[in-house]
């Protein structure tokens, strides 16, 4: 991964911020590394990373049909509606 020189700001609900804080605390790391890892996993699941990068994240190669499905809060899904198979 390149050096961390860019800043991105996002808006989250209070509930999501609280959950992010809880997850980061449970993992004993900050919120930024938790978000970066989640973003890298999102990229991997949608086929934007090489197989080597996916393996480094501990993810196996995902079939195309699974990789193309929307995420839990995808733009394809209504707000706050979780996707389920």
Mean pLDDT by 10 residues, the chain (85 residues): 86 96 96 93 91 84 52 45 44
* Cα dihedral 28→62→56→34 (10° resolution): -20
List all residues 6 or more positions away from 69 whose beta carbon is below 8 Å from its beta carbon: 83, 85
What is the pTM (predicted TM-score) of this model? 0.63
Rounded to whole angstroms, the Cα distance separating 27 from 11 reads: 22
* Nearest by Cα to 4 from 42, 27, 30: 30
């Amino acid at each position: 991964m390149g050096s961390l020189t860019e800043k991105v700001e996002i808006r989250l609900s209070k509930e999501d911020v609280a959950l992010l804080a809880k997850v980061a605390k449970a993992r004993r790391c900050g919120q930024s590394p938790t978000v970066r890892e989640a973003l890298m996993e999102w990229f991997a699941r949608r086929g934007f990373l090489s197989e080597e990068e996916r393996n480094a994240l501990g993810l196996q190669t995902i079939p195309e049909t699974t990789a193309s499905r929307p995420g839990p809060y995808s733009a394809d899904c209504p707000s706050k509606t979780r996707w389920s198979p």
